[in-house]
Amino acid sequence: MTLLHIDSSILGDNSASRQITADTVAHLRAADPGVTIVYRDLAANPLPHLSGGYLARQSADVQHDPALQADLRHDGRVLDEFLAASTVVIGAPMYNFTIPSQLKAWIDRICVAGKTFRRYTESGFEGLVGDKKIILAITRGGLYGPDSPSASFEHQESYLRAVFTFLGVTDITTIIAEGLAGGEEQRNAALADTRAQIDRL
């Protein structure tokens, strides 16, 4: 098995999502010591955001641009990592009601027509990577669950589920720690609960 471990928090050692992804990967490695782990830190090594040249890369005007060609080679490595992984563990903190822009840049590199989804079918879009397991480590300073008054502001877990469902993935697990800004006691309780969630994987 190949496991792709993605972190996107900009908080370094103070990051709750990084702690949860590390605990999750350690749990999965203990269950399968032979697992191959590929790690990508999107905060330490951010991917470029999509550019007009990238989207127009088939144009004769841009196909010989050295910077663009380097970007496309990097893009290929990102996509290959995702396609090769049977399990993907993603740390996704909430920033301003959604995911970090660093994680969005990665998602833009893996949503590729003909590779991870088929653009046109009789029934619409068809995902091509349904054989993967996605584990989302979701962290939030506030409370955004379905029964929360702030539920309509949640565009983090809902967005990620939409993306991976679009790509054909049906095995999506979330490990959620929320209310982390509610004081040390609340934070410790939320992180303790994630350890129980991980044990159930």
pTM for the whole thing? 0.91
Domain locations in the chain as residue ranges: 2-199
CB 79 within 8 A of CB 130: no
What kind of architecture, by CATH, is found in domain 2-199? 3-Layer(aba) Sandwich (3.40)
Binding residues: 9, 15-17, 94-97, 139-142
pLDDT digits (tens, 9 = 90+) for 42-62: 999 999 887 766 666 655 555
Distance in angstroms between the alpha carbons of the first and the last residue of the chain = 16
Rounded CA-CA distance 9/48 in Å is: 16
Helices (H), the chain: 16-31, 52-55, 66-84, 101-110, 157-166, 184-199
pLDDT in tens, the chain (201 residues): 999 999 999 999 999 999 999 999 999 999 999 999 999 999 999 998 877 666 666 555 555 566 666 666 667 899 999 999 999 999 999 999 999 999 999 999 999 888 999 876 677 789 999 999 999 999 999 999 989 999 999 999 999 999 999 999 999 999 999 999 999 999 999 999 999 999 999
CB 100 within 8 A of CB 138: no
Binding residues for FMN: 9, 15-17, 94-97, 139-142
